[in-house]
């Protein structure tokens, strides 16, 4: 038995007992292992674990001793044992480092984020240069390039490139000599840089600056007179724990030190176990939703660089803090809001960690083979990977993954997914790798950013903003600012722009499917810019940001900058992408002078954007945003406009809470304008949605739209003469797949294509990924096949919907009627519904749907 793992049922008292080795501490846990309560005795330092785990936590003991007591098998820690709390929670090595300084510092880091500070930016530059040096690049050129890359941030900090280059060169020189020596010493090389590491059995992850002959080397830009700092040793020990090579020594390089920069130290078992116990404390505290007080550690608060933040946060949020508190607690509403949203974000962080599960049990990993590898201009690679098994996958475009040659715990590279089809996955990766396996490796960056947005709202927003958002004051409108006509041919759109332009606090635009939300947003942005306002244009997804910009371009406006990564921004928008690299002063003014800045809500909470201020924030897709995600955009502006439709998909969130859009639309209906005329669907297609979701008040924009038919573009069989067709199938659903329905969809597709409908203008929607995979195998590549969620915001001439369900309706497409609303409103000319009528009749809503469709 090399591991025992279970859920904690009971935590026993820690006590001291006399043994033949002297006095020792012990604590007993009762774990539920394979359905049986099982005693596990923790000895010595591992007994501390009982001080912070609680019922419900998962605990694993690696290499336990087996004990027998009155005929019952139990376990105890032995000499080689290690205890891991919540192994599936991959704690970052840098978080363990912060926790060792003080648990409250770790908590505050997450809450307040990394601010735009010169030391931070310079640190990033020095790390980049170090990486280049190890890769054999020449220092001078590397310094120039890395300083250039940080141009925008340096410029915003008011720094000149020359001065920064001089400083970075100093740091580089400090390690150059050491590198020379170590290279001469062991004839090179065995250096590896920026290594992604994780260990799913120890619940840790991180990115080591470098490995030298498989020993961790950590770079710090500070100075150090004596031995390596304890917190740095602990961080390095975390990397050592994740390496399977059992390194004996670690090195911390202090590049700000006069004289020799390297501090080498022994990675003793005691140090490694200590690092793991600290990691366990982080995991236990975060998964239990505790707020550290600082009393857990014996740090000296009076000398702490986080003293001010710590005491103010504690004072305003009424938290206990070892350092004391400053200021009066905020009103109850603010504190309740903070608690509630904070808990949801922590739940989401947990959900991200749960997605790492394939790393420990192989379930869900994707098997692949390299089909093509193409070098990219920036030094990275685009890999085209053929899928070698039929397993459905949750991995989708935009995800962060690990690609490896079979064992992700050995040599894995992080990669961004560019495209996923039924038989292939395209990824962008830093180094070429002979990939045979892909694992989901979701990042908590977005959760971290939204946490910061929550903090900024509660602790930094002005009183008026807090009053309006927390329901203590109604939004104000300026009676005089709304004169003039903005959109001549659509009264509701015009009113939406006029109300928004007149808003003092906020305005809301509800746009049912195809009603011209994006068109209205573009017109609004132009109106605001004409008035001299500086506008932030933001949305949940990159796709929606680019769509809004496309609408702006169509209306003849191109004075915007698009912030985002090369991978995120759509190819045809790359020419508008803001290049952060360049001469600092020039880059900073280019951003500051831009009248319109466009980016995703996650980017809004980045350290660069947090420094920007706007008159207006216009947020599209707002009904799909959680409260903190919405805050990340609206925090940056004096007035904001949210655009969305709460009758379509709600936010993807760990909580059932409505979006801020929906909450405010309920609270302040007079601040909302609803668009009514839709430019997409034939009258017959829109009628069900109009009646069920919009009180019958959704209309085709004109006759052309109302009369749209597939017969205008093809010559289909008679049964498609009605824009809505129901195809009954008596199929069986097994594990979210309905093969008979898939066959029927294939037949419908063939019939339509044979009659002249272009294959690429037919979209197929199914509620489950498994059915999507089944359909994807049967249909040609140019036919888009996906789940409902991926189709929100898009449309096609023809949409075929496979319901899958065969007995009763407990599938996700039905658990929320809004999801079905989206599915039913994507088609312009023909909507074909394929399903089991008996199953659909079991639900009143779907029964009405059937009455309409047949």
Ligand X SMILES: Nc1ncnc2c1ncn2[C@@H]1O[C@H](COP(=O)(O)OP(=O)(O)OP(=O)(O)O)[C@@H](O)[C@H]1O
Q: Which is nearer to ligand X, 234 or 622 (CB)?
A: 622
Of 76, 44, 47, whose CA–CA distance to 63 is shortest? Answer: 76
Q: Which is nearer to ligand X, 116 or 553 (CB)?
A: 553
Residues 6+ apart with CB under 8 A from 151: 161, 580, 581, 582, 583, 584, 586, 587
- What does the alpha-carbon distance between residue 131 and residue 355 come to, in Å, rounded to a whole number? 30
Rounded distance, CA 103 to CA 111, Å?
Answer: 13
Cis ω before 189 (30° cut-off from 0): yes
Segment contacting ligand X (CB under 6 A): 20-28, 200-208, 483-491, 753-761? 483-491
Q: Is residue 514 close enough to count as binding ligand X by CB under 6 A?
A: yes
The answer to whether 571 and 543 have CB atoms below 8 angstroms apart is: no
| Interaction mask 438-477, ligand X, x per CB under 6 A | ----------------------------------------
Residue number with CB closer to ligand X (192 or 790): 790
Is 784 near ligand X (CB under 6 A)?
no
Q: Using the minimum distance from each CB to ligand X, give the nearer residue, 240 or 492.
A: 492
Q: Tell me the three-class secondary structure of 216-249, residue by residue.
A: EEEEECCCCCCCCCHHHHHHHHHHHHHCCCCCCE
Kindly indicate which of the ranges 30-38, 284-292, 430-438, 516-524 contains the residues binding ligand X, using the contact rule CB under 6 A: 516-524
Which residues, including other chains, have CB under 8 Å from residue 711's CB and lie 6 or more apart? 721
As measured in angstroms, the least distance from the Cβ of 829 to ligand X is 14
Tell me whether residue 113 or residue 723 sits nearer to ligand X (CB atom).
Answer: 723
Among 247, 511, 716, 776, binds ligand X (CB under 6 A): 511
Give the count of beta carbons closer than 10 Å to the beta carbon of residue 43. 18
Segment near ligand X (CB under 6 A); pick from 92-100, 361-369, 428-436, 485-493: 485-493
Instruction: Please give the residues from 386 up to 415 whose contact with ligand X meets the rule CB under 6 A.
Output: none
What's the min distance (Å) between Cβ of 678 and ligand X? 8
**CA dist., res. 401 & res. 670, Å (int):** 45
**Both tokens assigned to 164:** 């920064």
Strand, helix or coil for residue 640 = strand
| In the complex, minimum distance from the CB of residue 792 to ligand X, in angstroms, rounded to a whole number | 7
Q: In angstroms, rounded to a whole number, what is the distance separating the alpha carbons of residues 579 and 561?
A: 9
Shortest distance (Å) from residue 521 CB to ligand X: 8
Between residues 202 and 643, which has the closer beta carbon with respect to ligand X? Answer: 643
Output 228 or 820, the one with its CB closest to ligand X.
Answer: 820
Q: In the set 287, 490, 510, 811, which binds ligand X (CB under 6 A)?
A: 490
Out of 110, 205, 465, 519, point to the residue binding ligand X (CB under 6 A). 519
The yes or no reply on residue 798 touching ligand X (CB under 6 A) is no
Judged by CB, which is closer to ligand X: 311, or 648? 648
Distance CA 106, CA 39 (A): 33
Can you read off the two tokens belonging to residue 560? 């915007």
What are the backbone dihedrals phi and psi of residue 397, each rounded to the nearest 5 degrees, phi first?
-50, 135
Is the alpha carbon torsion for 564, 567, 568, 573 positive or negative? positive
Alpha helices, DSSP H, located in 288-325: 307-317
Q: C-beta of 507: minimal distance to ligand X in Å?
A: 17
Q: Which stretch binds ligand X (CB under 6 A): 34-42, 98-106, 449-457, 484-492?
A: 484-492
Would you say how long the chain is, in residues?
Answer: 854
Q: Between the CA of residue 71 and those of 5, 61, 63, 74, what are the distances in Å?
A: 20, 21, 21, 10
The verdict on 644 binding ligand X (CB under 6 A) reads no
Counting contacts by CB under 6 A, is residue 541 touching ligand X?
Answer: no
Cβ contacts of residue 2 below 8 Å, gap of 6+?
A: 62, 63
State the DSSP code for 367. E
Binder among 364, 513, 716, 784 for ligand X (CB under 6 A): 513
> What's the CA gap between 432 and 434, in Å, rounded?
7
Rounded least distance, CB 544 to ligand X, Å: 8
Total residues contacting ligand X by CB under 6 A comes to 14
Q: Which is nearer to ligand X, 235 or 490 (CB)?
A: 490
Minimum distance of ligand X from residue 492's CB (angstroms): 10
Comparison of 104 and 676: residue with beta carbon closer to ligand X = 676
Positive or negative torsion for Cα 453, 455, 458, 462: negative
CB of 851 to ligand X, least distance (A): 25
For ligand X, which residue has the nearest CB?
516
User: Quick one: which segment of 17-25, 62-70, 113-121, 506-514 binds ligand X (CB under 6 A)?
Assistant: 506-514
Pick one of 91, 217, 487, 497: the residue that binds ligand X (CB under 6 A): 487
Does position 489 bind ligand X by CB under 6 A? Answer: yes
By beta-carbon proximity to ligand X, the closer residue of 358 and 686 is 686
What is the closest distance, in whole angstroms, from the C-beta atom of residue 483 to ligand X in the complex? 20
**Helix pair angle (769-778, 739-754), 10° resolution:** 40
Applying CB under 6 A, which part among 121-129, 486-494, 500-508, 708-716 lies near ligand X?
Answer: 486-494
Q: Which stretch binds ligand X (CB under 6 A): 305-313, 456-464, 498-506, 514-522?
A: 514-522
Cα torsion through 509, 515, 521, 527, rounded to 10: -90
Given candidates 319, 493, 510, 639, which one binds ligand X under the rule CB under 6 A? 493
Instruction: Name the one range near ligand X by CB under 6 A: 365-373, 421-429, 513-521, 759-767.
Output: 513-521
Render 270-285 in DSSP notation, one character per residue.
Answer: HHHHHHHHHHHHHHHH
Least spacing, CB of residue 609 vs ligand X, in Å: 24
Question: For residues 255 and 825, which CB has a smaller minimum distance to ligand X in the complex?
Answer: 825
283 binds ligand X (CB under 6 A): no
Phi, then psi, of 328 in degrees rounded to 5: -85, 145
CB of residue 681 vs ligand X: minimum separation in angstroms? 10
Given 118, 679, 699, 852, the residue binding ligand X (CB under 6 A): 679
Nearer to ligand X, 404 or 493 (CB): 493
Nearest C-alpha neighbor of 395 from the set 790, 90, 734? 790
Query: Of 773, 793, 813, 853, which one interacts with ligand X (CB under 6 A)?
Result: 793
Question: With contact defined as beta carbons under 8 Å apart, do 70 and 28 qualify?
Answer: no
Residue 416 token pair: 């961004």
Query: How far is Cα 195 from Cα 412, in angstroms, rounded to an integer?
Result: 9
In whole angstroms, the minimum distance from the beta carbon of 825 to ligand X comes to 8
Q: Confirm or reject binding of residue 517 to ligand X (CB under 6 A).
A: yes
Site for ligand X contains 128 (CB under 6 A): no
Residue 402 or 497: which CB sits closer to ligand X?
Answer: 497
* Cβ-count burial 683-721 (b if 16+ within 10 Å, e if not): ebbbbbbbebbbeeebbbbeeebeebbbeebbebeeebe
Residue 30 near ligand X by CB under 6 A: no
Tell me the two tokens of residue 72.
């019952």
CB 750 within 8 A of CB 716: no
Report, in Å, the least distance between residue 623 CB and ligand X.
Answer: 10
Q: 532 exposed, middle or buried (CB, 10 Å; 0-12, 13-18, 19+)?
A: exposed
Assess 516 for contact with ligand X (CB under 6 A). Answer: yes
Stretch of 232-240, 316-324, 489-497, 727-735 contacting ligand X, by CB under 6 A? 489-497
Among 321, 409, 446, 518, binds ligand X (CB under 6 A): 518
Q: How far apart are CA 161 and CA 176, in angstroms?
A: 22
Q: What is the DSSP letter of 331?
A: P
- Give yes or no for residue 515 binding ligand X (CB under 6 A): yes
Is the CB of residue 792 less than 8 Å from the CB of residue 649?
A: yes
Binding residues vs ligand X (CB under 6 A): 487, 489-490, 493, 511, 513-519, 679, 793
């Amino acid at each position: 038995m090399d591991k025992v793992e279970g859920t904690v049922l009971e935590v026993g008292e820690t006590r001291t007992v006399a043994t033949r080795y002297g006095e020792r501490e012990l604590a007993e846990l009762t774990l539920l292992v394979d359905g049986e309560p099982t005693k596990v005795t923790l000895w010595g330092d591992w007994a501390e674990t009982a001080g912070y785990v609680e019922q419900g936590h998962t605990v694993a003991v690696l290499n336990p001793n087996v004990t027998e007591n009155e005929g019952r098998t139990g376990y105890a820690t032995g000499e080689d044992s290690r205890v891991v709390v919540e192994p599936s929670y991959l704690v970052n090595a840098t978080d363990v480092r912060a926790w060792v300084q003080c648990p409250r510092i770790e908590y505050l880091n997450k809450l307040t984020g990394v601010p735009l500070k010169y030391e931070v930016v310079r640190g990033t530059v020095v790390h980049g240069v170090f990486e280049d040096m190890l890769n054999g690049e020449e220092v001078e050129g590397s310094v120039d390039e890395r300083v250039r890359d940080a141009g925008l941030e340096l410029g915003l900090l008011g720094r000149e490139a020359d001065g920064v280059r001089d400083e970075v060169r100093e740091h580089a020189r400090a390690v150059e000599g050491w590198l020379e020596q170590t290279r001469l010493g062991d004839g090179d090389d065995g250096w590896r840089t920026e290594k992604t590491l994780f260990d799913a059995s120890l619940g840790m992850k991180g990115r080591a600056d470098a490995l030298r002959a498989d020993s961790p080397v950590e770079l710090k830009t500070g100075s150090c007179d004596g031995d390596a700092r304890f917190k740095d040793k602990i961080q390095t020990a975390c990397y050592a724990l994740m390496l399977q090579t059992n390194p004996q020594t670690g090195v911390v390089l202090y590049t700000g030190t006069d004289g020799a920069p390297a501090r080498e130290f022994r990675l003793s078992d005691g140090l490694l176990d200590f690092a793991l116990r600290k990691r366990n404390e982080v995991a236990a505290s975060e998964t239990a939703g505790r707020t550290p007080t600082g009393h857990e550690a014996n740090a000296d608060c009076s000398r702490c660089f986080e003293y001010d933040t710590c005491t103010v946060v504690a004072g305003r949020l009424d938290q206990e803090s070892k350092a004391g508190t400053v200021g009066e607690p905020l009103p109850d509403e603010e504190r309740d809001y903070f608690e509630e949203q904070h808990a949801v974000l922590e739940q989401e962080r947990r959900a991200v960690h749960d997605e790492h599960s394939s790393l420990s049990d192989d379930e869900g990993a994707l098997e692949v083979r390299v089909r093509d590898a193409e070098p990219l201009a920036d030094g990275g690679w685009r890999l085209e990977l053929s899928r070698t098994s039929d397993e459905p996958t949750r991995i989708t475009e935009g995800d962060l993954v690990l690609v490896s040659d079979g064992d992700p715990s050995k040599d894995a590279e992080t990669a961004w997914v560019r495209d996923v089809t039924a038989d292939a996955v395209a990824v962008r990766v830093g180094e070429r790798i002979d990939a045979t396996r892909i694992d989901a490796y979701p990042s908590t960056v977005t959760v971290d950013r939204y946490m910061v947005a929550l903090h900024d709202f509660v602790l930094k927003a002005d009183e008026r903003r807090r009053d309006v958002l927390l329901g203590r004051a109604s939004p104000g409108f300026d009676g005089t600012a709304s004169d003039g006509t903005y959109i001549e041919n659509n009264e509701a759109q015009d009113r939406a722009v006029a109300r928004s332009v007149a808003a003092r606090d906020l305005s809301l635009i509800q746009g049912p499917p195809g009603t011209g939300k994006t068109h209205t947003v573009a017109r609004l942005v132009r109106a605001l810019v004409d008035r001299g306002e500086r506008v932030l244009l933001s949305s949940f997804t990159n796709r929606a940001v680019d769509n809004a910009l496309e609408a702006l371009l169509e209306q003849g406006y191109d004075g915007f900058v698009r912030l985002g990564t090369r991978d995120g921004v759509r190819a045809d928008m790359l020419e508008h992408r803001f290049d952060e690299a360049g001469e600092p002063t020039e880059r900073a003014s280019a951003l500051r002078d831009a009248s319109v800045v466009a980016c995703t809500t996650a980017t809004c909470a980045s350290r660069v954007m947090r420094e920007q201020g706007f008159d207006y924030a216009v947020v599209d897709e707002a009904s799909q945003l959680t409260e903190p995600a919405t805050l990340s955009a609206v925090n940056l502006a004096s007035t904001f406009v949210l655009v969305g439709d709460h009758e379509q998909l709600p936010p993807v969130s760990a909580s059932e809470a409505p979006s801020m859009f929906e909450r405010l639309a309920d609270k302040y209906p007079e601040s909302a304008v609803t668009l009514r005329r839709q430019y997409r669907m034939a009258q017959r297609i829109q009628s069900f949605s109009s009646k069920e979701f919009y009180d019958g008040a959704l209309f085709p924009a004109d006759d052309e739209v109302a009369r749209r038919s597939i017969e205008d573009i093809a010559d289909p069989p008679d049964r498609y003469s009605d824009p809505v067709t129901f195809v009954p199938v008596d199929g069986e659903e097994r594990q979210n797949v309905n093969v008979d329905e898939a066959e029927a969809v294939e037949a419908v597709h063939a019939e339509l294509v044979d009659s002249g409908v272009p294959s690429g203008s037919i979209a197929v929607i199914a509620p489950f990924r498994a059915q999507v995979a089944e359909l994807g195998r049967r249909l040609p590549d140019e036919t888009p096949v996906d789940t409902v969620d991926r189709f929100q915001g898009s449309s096609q001439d023809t949409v075929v919907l496979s319901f899958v369900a065969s007995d009763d309706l407990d599938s996700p497409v039905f658990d929320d009627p809004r999801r079905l609303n989206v599915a039913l409103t994507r088609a312009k000319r023909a909507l074909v519904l394929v399903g089991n009528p008996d199953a659909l009749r079991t639900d009143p809503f779907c029964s009405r749907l059937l009455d309409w469709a047949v």
